[in-house]
């Protein structure tokens, strides 16, 4: 079992999917985990599962679309536990936003969670981490943020924001003792992908994706991308000329 040096961790979006899996992964390695989300019953079920496994997860009802309240709550937890060692901005929402029938309400909902919520989560205790000269920030982006996917303008753009945000943090934090990691999942079985009505190549089981996430976080990797079968061609697509990329992207709609 992989050992960690974290005493405490906070994981947002922990009521399901990758966040839920990562919260359990960390707790089973002796980390005191604050699992946050909007759905308290699901968080309580996670707590019960952790107790059955002989570990402890503390549920925290929190809505990252309310950034001021999010920052206040995370700062309170930071003070309560003597300093959060790891903060994972995992909470995210998907959904199509086809330009031909774009709805601002849907765009705004994605931005509120994936952009504003993630930034608030990561910003909440960063000054304290720098002052303590220790800490680790993790942003869960997506391979979808590397280029703009057809029909997913808001989702792709929101994840592109998080990727760039994490990269800049990583550069700025060099030498401070605070690390920054950006995670780029491909398609993973979850509530979010269960509603997708398009092909999802190399769809991964949640537990396999969580293991790759956890291992990469513990190593302190700058970036973690998976599965490699999708990550490699996606990153290669970054350098494709626009006409070639556009033609390929349209066929994937």
C-alpha angle 144/247/224, rounded to 5°?
Answer: 20
Residues 6+ apart with CB under 8 A from 146: 160, 163, 184, 234, 235, 237, 238
- 99-119 pLDDT, tens per residue? 999 999 999 999 999 999 999
pLDDT for the residue numbered 1: 52
pLDDT at 71: 98
Q: 123-164: per-residue pLDDT in tens?
A: 999 999 999 999 999 999 999 999 888 888 999 999 999 999
Question: Over the chain, what is the mean pLDDT?
Answer: 92
Residue numbers annotated as active site: 155
Q: Does 171 fall in a domain? A: yes
Domain residue limits at 217: 8-252
In a domain, 2, yes or no: no
pTM of the entire predicted model: 0.92
How many domains does one find in the chain? 1
* 86-89 and 135-140 strand pairing: parallel
Task: Tell me, yes or no, whether 1 lies in a domain.
Answer: no
């Amino acid at each position: 079992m992989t050992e960690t040096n974290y005493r405490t961790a906070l994981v947002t979006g922990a009521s399901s999917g990758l966040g839920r899996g990562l919260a359990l992964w960390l707790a089973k390695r002796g980390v005191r985990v604050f699992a946050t989300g909007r759905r308290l019953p699901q968080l309580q079920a996670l707590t019960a599962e952790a107790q059955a496994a002989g570990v402890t997860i503390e549920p925290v009802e929190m809505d990252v679309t309310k950034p001021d309240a999010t920052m206040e709550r995370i700062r309170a937890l930071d003070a309560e536990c003597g300093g959060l060692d790891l903060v994972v901005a995992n909470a995210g929402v998907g959904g199509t936003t086809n330009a031909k029938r774009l709805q601002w309400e849907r765009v705004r909902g994605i931005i509120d969670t994936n952009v504003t919520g993630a930034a608030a989560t990561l910003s909440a205790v960063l000054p304290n981490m720098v002052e303590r000269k220790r800490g680790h920030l993790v942003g869960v982006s997506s391979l979808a943020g590397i280029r703009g996917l057809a029909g997913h303008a808001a989702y792709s753009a929101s994840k592109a924001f998080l990727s760039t945000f994490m990269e800049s943090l990583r550069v700025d934090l060099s030498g401070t003792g605070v690390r920054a990691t950006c995670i780029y999942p491909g398609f993973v079985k979850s509530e979010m992908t269960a509603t997708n009505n398009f092909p999802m190549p190399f769809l991964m089981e949640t537990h396999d994706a969580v293991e790759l996430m956890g291992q990469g976080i513990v190593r302190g990797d700058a970036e973690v991308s998976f599965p490699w079968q999708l990550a490699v061609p996606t990153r290669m697509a970054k350098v494709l000329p626009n006409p070639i990329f556009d033609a390929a992207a349209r066929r994937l709609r």
